[in-house]
Amino acid sequence: MQNLKERLEVIEYSKKLNTTNLSPLRSGNISVRGIQASNDGFFITPSGKKYEDLKPEDIVFLSLNEEKDIVSWSNTGKNPSSEWRFHQDIYKNKREANSVVHAHSPNATAVSTHGKSIPPFHYMIALAGGEDIKCSEYATFGTHELSMNIIKALENRKACLMSNHGQVAFGKNLSTAFELAQEVENICNQYIIALKLGQPKILSFKEMKKVMVKAKNYKKG
């Protein structure tokens, strides 16, 4: 089978969505950038299948060309995740993105229902690429509008919340993208706890700029 490595990797991390409680049941989706038949594109989880039952042939390849996408999955009889569009747009707009993780993680989803960015109450927010974690405006799942809202929220960032929906993170590989999604979930949990005690102290823009420089060398290797 072509691209077996990429397909198995998508399956491995899709199962981790469940086993790590990052995204329950069939929610969320995983993709990795790749090439098939000389077409640049990505391999993504199918729509509606239990992750524990996934097989390599279930993983769907989509090109970065929208016209080819229609052919690529209709000919196979397989449907990609309903959120394929924002995966495609992230790969188109972020050359550094080689993998994307989307999760309905409990804490990130809860915070996203407020439709607000997470301010720098903790310096680890810098791991997402900016001085705060943006929350994209709400739009119906699977739509072009949602995709464009996410791209806007990801400006100069590697992760964002999705209003009334969940979170999305990307990385140089699935390991880094998945770990970043876990970091975002942990930050959201800490933020919820902090708010129970009142309004947390917010780090200054100047301090976060210093932290962001240091964060570039954090977790290398």
Query: Residue 8 corresponds to which amino acid?
Result: L
* Tokens linked to 147: 């995709």
Q: 183: phi > 0 → left, psi -120 to 50 → alpha, else beta; which?
A: alpha
Q: Are 143 and 151 in contact (CB under 8 A)?
A: no
Set 83, 131, 183, 185: catalytic member: 83
d(CA 174, CA 202): 31
| Largest distance between two CA atoms of the chain | 56
* Tokens linked to 19: 């086993």
Please state at what angle helix 144-153 crosses helix 84-93, rounded to 10 degrees.
40
Query: Quick check: is 137 catalytic?
Result: no
For the purposes of burial, counting CB atoms within 10 Å of the CB of 221, is it exposed (0-12), middle (13-18) or buried (19 or more)?
Answer: exposed
- Active site amino acids: 83
